[in-house]
Amino acid sequence: MTPGVRIEIAGLRKSYNGVEVLRGIDLLIEPGESLVIVGGSGEGKSVLLRHIAGLEKPNAGRVRLNDIDLPTYQAMEAEKKPFRLAMVFQGAALLNSLTVAENVALRLLEHGKSKREVAEVVATCLQQVGLAHAEDKLPADLSGGMRKRVAIARALAAEPQLVLHDEPTADLDPILTLQIAELIANIGRLQPTTQVIVTHNLALATSVGDRIAVLRRGEVVEVLPADALKESRHPFTQEFVKAATMHI
Amino acid sequence: MTTLIDSERQRPPEARRGFFGAIGGELLDLLQISGESTYLFLGTLRRISLSGRTWDRTLDQLVRVGTDTVPLACLVSLFIGMVLVVQTADQLERFTQEIIGSIVGLAMTKELGPVVMGFLLAGRVGSAVAAEIGSMTVSDEINALRTMDIDPIRFLSVPRFLAMTLALPMLILYSDVVGVIGGAVVVAIDPTIKISVRQYFDNLTEWINATDVVVGVVKGTVFGMIIAVMSCTYGLRTSGGAEGVARSTTAAVVWSFVLIIIFDYLIVRAAIVLT
């Protein structure tokens, strides 16, 4: 199995309606690493993540995954891809017409796995996120935290080597935040996986990240080890840490 | 094909000010939508296969598009046939009412059946499809499919396209029959109509031939494609939350209506030339 995915981002730029959101991002994420991208609202964190997922086209620059250009990777047939990517969206993005189990099973069934094989994977993944009892429920019947956990189970079902999390704890209470943080930390332990997590939750960032990239106005102002964040001397990072720990 | 690939629609600059700017902006939008719908149409055709899961999804859609629409289609067609008889009988009172059967039959099979059923399907199912896919687009469900290596066109567009293309001709045949029966009911019970039900049917069968029915079915096939493509195109290009979904739904229905009328004319012209 591929030991996670190496992500190389070079000179990434993106504008919407003339407003530059990403201003030349350069980042290197090593295989098996958990990189957390922090920054205030509207700084371009989610846009950067969506570029890594291939959901946006950059105006300039490139993203390479294990030395494969992202457009080349995307053009490959699913079965021939050398590694798998999964993304956990901010709003979970579950298909509302499908049950929890069907959501988790969808990717595998669409790619030709047998129903019996898939049923075992679904049961295991739902067990891992503590939702074995909810497999027949519809997303509309779930709380925000449960929806997030189903989205993580759906990502895990694919046995991905790269998992992208967009604001995994947005709108969740502290207990649910802790649960999600444990789940994210467990993903790396269960299988060799590179993870990129976008958040403005400092506690989550320091608990699940190996390194933290601080984003401001579409630029990476610094990348530092997670345990060194609070000692940063960069004025913006200091301001961000101070604001994030005020608990207003 | 930016909007079907990028999640965020690249809106043109806000510099569409003034009269010419506004016209130019509308023209650009029209070209963009034409390009997107053509791309989706060709992409859907290229991806059609009857693999197990596509067929299952198509059957689900056939129930939604066809079976669930039958009661409403029958009700509408019944009253169209009835109104046609009342109107024509009133107009023909001074001449002869013996031709009512052919008028109702030809009107139903050639024009009213296909167009009314097309409008009904666009309003009932096309709007629902545009709203459903639009909601999926704004809530990142379409992007979730992409990250799972599931092609949204194969997953969403192909089953809806097949279902609408197959179901609408069937609905039109139902409509033709029910409309004619509606007319017969009025002939039987309305004392102002001086012909018998037998005369009504004799005149109808004398004038209607297989070509009329086939042209109606061809129209149904084309209209079904139009409704599927427009509703999926607008659904996939939705942006801007609930308001955007409402905008897409309205636009999908309006453009389906417009294209149905345009293609109705083109098919009639082609049929006249060919026959």
Q: What pLDDT score does A23 carry?
A: 94
What is the distance between the alpha carbons of residues B267 and B90, in angstroms, rounded to a whole number? 31
Q: What is the pLDDT of residues A99-113, one digit of tens each?
A: 999 999 999 999 888
Q: Which of A95, A115, A125, A165 to mutate to test the interface with B (most CBs of B within 10 A)?
A: A95
Confirm or reject contact between B71 and chain A (CB < 8 A).
no
Provide the percentage of residues in chain A whose pLDDT is more than 90.
62
| Average of per-residue pLDDT across A110-138 | 91
Q: Which of residues 176-215 of B touch A (CB under 8 A)?
A: none
Confidence tier at A1 by pLDDT (50, 70, 90): low
All structural domains of chain A with their residue ranges: 98-158
pLDDT of residue B138: 95
DSSP A161: S
Using a CB–CB cutoff of 8 Å, tell me whether B26 touches chain A.
Answer: no
- Of the two residues A29 and A40, the one the predictor is more confident about is A29
Q: Which helix (H) or strand (E) holds A116?
A: helix A115-128
Are A158 and A110 contacting, i.e. CB atoms less than 8 angstroms apart? Answer: no
Point out the residue among A54, A84, A93 whose CB comes nearest to the CB of B139.
Answer: A93
B255, B122 contact by CB (below 8 A): no
Residue B175, pLDDT score: 95
The DSSP secondary structure of B139-206, one letter per residue, reads: TTHHHHHHHTT--HIIIIIHHHHHHHHHHHHHHHHHHHHHHHHHHHHHHHH-TT--S-HHHHHHHHHH
Q: What is the mean pLDDT of residues B230-235?
A: 97
- Number of helices and strands in chain A (H, E): 8, 10
